[in-house]
Structure 1
Amino acid sequence: MDFRILGPLEVRDRGRPIELPRRKQRAVLAILLLRRGEIVSSDVLVDGLWGEDPPPTARAALHNYVAQLRRALGPGVVLSRAGSYLLDIAPEQIDVGRFERLTAEGRAALGEERVEKLREALMLWRGPPLADLAFEPFAANEASRLEELRTAALEELIDAKLSLGASAELVAELEALITEHPFRERLRGQLMLALYRAGRQAEALEAYQEARRTLADELGIEPSAPLRELEQALLRQDPSVAAPVRVAREIAAPQEKRRKTVTVLFADVVYPVTLDPELLRETSLAVLKTMRGVLEGHGAMIEQRSGDEVMAVFGVPRSHEDDALRAARA
């Protein structure tokens, strides 16, 4: 059985969706999933479902929701423990558990493996966490915590790409992330590095000034010491901020050639014929950058570009069981 909360709550049994039609019923399951492996008291559940003003029938309603969950999920999943409850599942049965494992493996890995592990972890996200339960009393804090984990993993992935020599191809993604998270100085520093290493030193320094203005105007603070030190390193063109040399992968012993199944996606951009040519060019570049970011974020390799058409391949060099699903989501 597979449980998913990195997006709307989903439960699948051998690929078959299990319907949980009542919102409070799904909320009980979500709270137990967030505390998987822990004994959760009825008081905690009541507080998570109704907040500070539960109805007089709250405990009776809770017992009904738990009974409905047991019928839907089958025996041995939701266990009772002296007025409390325990969700008896393995970490790998929930997408958060797999996400935490993959991010830990990514942080411990190096080079391409680090990028691949972090990318695979981020692929587990299907949208805002607990999206269908956003207005439940327990959800806001938990969703914020999960979003913080996702953003930190994105920062780790960008660091990993920078360490392999990526630069210009990261700029559009970083600018979008900074729009979403304007006070995260790590993202600001990554943008400065990406611009500098792409030969855009003036823009890199302007990115620092923009960060400084935002922090001063919105929070009344100066950039942290690491960000100030990075600006000084860029000004003096310190070797420590130079782009790493892209090292070709070592050529191993010849491998046996074999056929493999891949998923190929063609995407084309269509514009109104009356669009101003200059605006058309700017729009085209922005859209193609966005397309590349989305496709690569879902694990694709851009194999070909012709005009406004892009061909992306999923399953090369490493295949995944859900390559076709990744293509569909992209």
Structure 2
Amino acid sequence: MTSTAPRFRVLGPLEVAGEGGPRPVHGERQRTLLAALLAARGATVSADTLVDHLWGDAPPDKPAGALYSQVSRLRRALGDVLADDAELVTGARGYALAVPPDDVDALRFERLVAAARSATGDEAAALYDEALALWRGPAYDGFADLHPASLEGIRLDELRLAAVEERARMLLALGRAESVIPEMEGFVQAHPLREEARAVLMRALYAHGRHTAALQLYQDYRERLAEELGLEPSAALRRLQGEILSHAVEPPATPRPPTRPVEGATGRVAGTLDTLQVRYLRHAGSRIAHATVGDGSPLVVVPAWVTSLDVIASGRDPRSSLLERLAGGTRLTLYDRLGAGLSRSEEVDFSLAASVAELEAVVEHTGPAALLAVSQSGPAAVSLAARRPDLVTRLILVGTFANAHEVFRDARVNQAIVDLARGHWGMGARLLADLYRPGASTDAGRHLARVLRDSADGEVAAGYLEEMYRTDVSGLLPAVTAPALVMHYRGDRVIPYRGAQQLARGLPDARLVPLEGPFHLPDAADLARIVEAITDFLGPPPASGRTAAPRPGRSSR
């Protein structure tokens, strides 16, 4: 265990401790400078960046001198806190705060959590306890307007919540259900949409003989999830409910940090999304992560904006419930577009042409199939259907569009959203989440923002958004021979309903199914209807594994 307390503390309000006790750092600019340097985790922060953090749109006449003055004042304020092993470094390009990792509470916390994840039994529990005891409040509390600190705070806060859940799983595996229950009851009440925490509490209640309470916890979650996110509980939580009902709950496994779907496995998995087995396809010098699940008519899901196979498999993605149901009756293939999810890449071409080429590579790999395009992915699906009618048997277009210039009419708003994603992804993701579920609670917004952040970084998200706002495939619509099913919520605020009307007017063989509500993605209350319409449209699976010939579609405009 670590004996001395960290000298620099950001897991709560910013504090500095010297040998004689707290070391006050006065003044907004002094505190902002220190927070920016600590958030950089020892890396050099350029002088221009620090000037922007300290003075914003009103820099001083001589910014380099003014910044140097602030740095000098901070050195004097820190005094003996900057000992031989801690230094405020002045470099050619900027400044860095070089501090031993254990002297920053955030870095010590991460070290302890990593050690706990590698340990077992009482040792692991003690490491988790020591790590969590470092927290005094939200990370970088009071620095919401300082971009690097706010992003680092969001990351650290998420790591803390995960550590609380991991610790509870550890105690449960050690047979300490009675100590897990009171702690996790408060945690679940504070974070009602964190499924892992709820699963741990359900197991603890069951182990303590409170079977009815465990089942009520599931029912409460099911109702809240449907109301706030339009989702259903994941397959894993549904299985746990079934085990409790049949009094056949498996003992909890030794907890480990959250894992991604299995990579590199062979064969197709007939099951639920949480059994996805990820494989990789070489394309344009990069690797595309893809997975196939279920049996039935072949259906390829075109990625929307930023998605991730591991997030979808966990049941957290807004499309997860729809895809889970479809996996029960189709041979569903999903993949991550380059730059996102498990297809991370240093170099990403955000162009529509590149997205179409990725889709083409996946469908060539799977064989001819119907395409399910949700949200931003519609233009790529339309483009491939026009270009390669031999590969696309049907189109299912949900909440999407053909011509961005007609659908997204305010260029200033479009650019503001792009800038928000690129420059303020942590905060921007929460604001964007409100468009998906109008009126959603703070916790629901936090959930959706976490999904977006876990799926891609801000630069990738902004790059794909920029491309979306300049996309126009309306000229290709008459060339599409595949029948199309178009579904769209009339009150959609992300992609207005006129996007569906564009598609229905332009496609030669399209059926338009309006959905009622202010949502962008399929809502839990509408899932049965949506899935029934899709499966009816797809028809029975082809015999002997061959793709069925397209049948005539119905047109409703």
Q: What TM-score results when the alignment is normalised by the length of structure 1? A: 0.67
Give distance in 1, aligned partners of 2:214 and 2:168.
Answer: 16
Deviation by residue 1:11-38 (Cα, 9 ceiling, x = unmatched): 1222432221112211111111121221
Match of 2:44 in 1: 39
Match of 2:509 in 1: none
- Alignment-mate amino acid for residue 217 of structure 1: E
Task: State which of 198, 210, 216 in structure 1 corresponds to 2:220.
Answer: 210
User: Is 1:69 aligned to residue 79 of structure 2?
Assistant: no
Match of 1:251 in 2: none
User: Is 1:55 aligned to residue 65 of structure 2?
Assistant: no
Task: Identify the structure with bigger relative contact order (alpha carbons < 8 Å, sequence gap 6+).
Answer: 1
Give distance in 2, aligned partners of 1:50 and 1:233.
Answer: 58
Q: Which secondary structure state, in structure 2, belongs to the residue aligned with residue 210 of structure 1?
A: helix
User: Is 1:9 aligned to residue 14 of structure 2?
Assistant: yes
- Alignment-mate amino acid for residue 24 of structure 2: E
Contact in 2 for aligned 1:5/1:129 (Cα 8 Å): yes
Give distance in 1, aligned partners of 2:228 and 2:104.
Answer: 38
Structural mapping, 1:81-96, within 5 Å: 81-96=91-106
User: Is 1:99 aligned to residue 109 of structure 2?
Assistant: yes
Match of 1:131 in 2: 141
Q: CA deviation at 1:59?
A: 4.9
- Alignment-mate amino acid for residue 31 of structure 1: A
Give distance in 2, aligned partners of 1:242 and 1:200.
Answer: 17
Deviation by residue 1:177-209 (Cα, 9 ceiling, x = unmatched): 122212111011011111111101111111111
Match of 1:170 in 2: 180
Contact in 1 for aligned 2:51/2:59 (Cα 8 Å): no
Contact in 2 for aligned 1:24/1:49 (Cα 8 Å): yes
Q: CA deviation at 1:153?
A: 1.0
Structure-2 change in CA distance of 1:238 and 1:209 (3 Å): same
Structural mapping, 1:143-162, within 5 Å: 143-162=153-172
Structure-2 change in CA distance of 1:21 and 1:162 (3 Å): same
Contact in 1 for aligned 2:102/2:108 (Cα 8 Å): yes
Contact in 2 for aligned 1:3/1:95 (Cα 8 Å): yes
Deviation by residue 1:85-134 (Cα, 9 ceiling, x = unmatched): 11121111111121111111111111111110000111111222222444
Q: Percent identical across equivalent pairs? A: 45
User: Is 1:233 aligned to residue 243 of structure 2?
Assistant: yes
- Alignment-mate amino acid for residue 169 of structure 1: S
Structure-2 change in CA distance of 1:54 and 1:236 (3 Å): farther
Contact in 2 for aligned 1:49/1:136 (Cα 8 Å): no
Give distance in 1, aligned partners of 2:13 and 2:41.
Answer: 18
Contact in 2 for aligned 1:197/1:243 (Cα 8 Å): no
User: Is 1:141 aligned to residue 145 of structure 2?
Assistant: no
User: Is 1:18 aligned to residue 23 of structure 2?
Assistant: yes
- Alignment-mate amino acid for residue 67 of structure 1: S
Contact in 2 for aligned 1:79/1:88 (Cα 8 Å): yes
Match of 2:122 in 1: 112
Match of 1:297 in 2: none
- Alignment-mate amino acid for residue 17 of structure 1: P
Q: Which secondary structure state, in structure 2, belongs to the residue aligned with residue 98 of structure 1?
A: helix
Deviation by residue 1:134-182 (Cα, 9 ceiling, x = unmatched): 4545443332222111111111111111111122332232222122212
Contact in 1 for aligned 2:39/2:149 (Cα 8 Å): no
Deviation by residue 1:265-292 (Cα, 9 ceiling, x = unmatched): xxxxxxxxxxxxxxxxxxxxxxxxxxxx
- Alignment-mate amino acid for residue 125 of structure 1: W
Give distance in 2, aligned partners of 1:239 and 1:200.
Answer: 13
User: Is 1:28 aligned to residue 38 of structure 2?
Assistant: no
Does 150-159 or 6-15 show the bigger shift? 6-15
- Alignment-mate amino acid for residue 197 of structure 1: A
Contact in 2 for aligned 1:37/1:87 (Cα 8 Å): yes
Q: Which secondary structure state, in structure 1, belongs to the residue aligned with residue 232 of structure 2?
A: coil
Give distance in 2, aligned partners of 1:54 and 1:90.
Answer: 35
Contact in 2 for aligned 1:49/1:137 (Cα 8 Å): no
**Number of corresponding residues:** 243
Structure-2 change in CA distance of 1:235 and 1:2 (3 Å): same
Give distance in 2, aligned partners of 1:27 and 1:90.
Answer: 21
Give distance in 2, aligned partners of 1:73 and 1:242.
Answer: 48
User: Is 1:190 aligned to residue 194 of structure 2?
Assistant: no
Match of 1:289 in 2: none
Structural mapping, 1:230-269, within 5 Å: 230-241=240-251
Structure-2 change in CA distance of 1:193 and 1:208 (3 Å): same
Q: CA RMSD in A?
A: 2.4
Compare CA radii of gyration and give the structure with the larger one: 2
Give distance in 1, aligned partners of 2:55 and 2:217.
Answer: 45
Contact in 1 for aligned 2:140/2:150 (Cα 8 Å): no
Does 93-102 or 167-176 show the bigger shift? 167-176
Match of 2:320 in 1: none
- Alignment-mate amino acid for residue 191 of structure 2: H
- Alignment-mate amino acid for residue 55 of structure 1: P
Give distance in 2, aligned partners of 1:155 and 1:68.
Answer: 42
- Alignment-mate amino acid for residue 59 of structure 2: P
Does 68-77 or 207-216 show the bigger shift? 68-77
Contact in 1 for aligned 2:173/2:252 (Cα 8 Å): no
Match of 2:486 in 1: none
Q: Which secondary structure state, in structure 2, belongs to the residue aligned with residue 131 of structure 1?
A: coil
Give distance in 1, aligned partners of 2:205 and 2:20.
Answer: 44
Q: Which secondary structure state, in structure 1, belongs to the residue aligned with residue 250 of structure 2?
A: helix
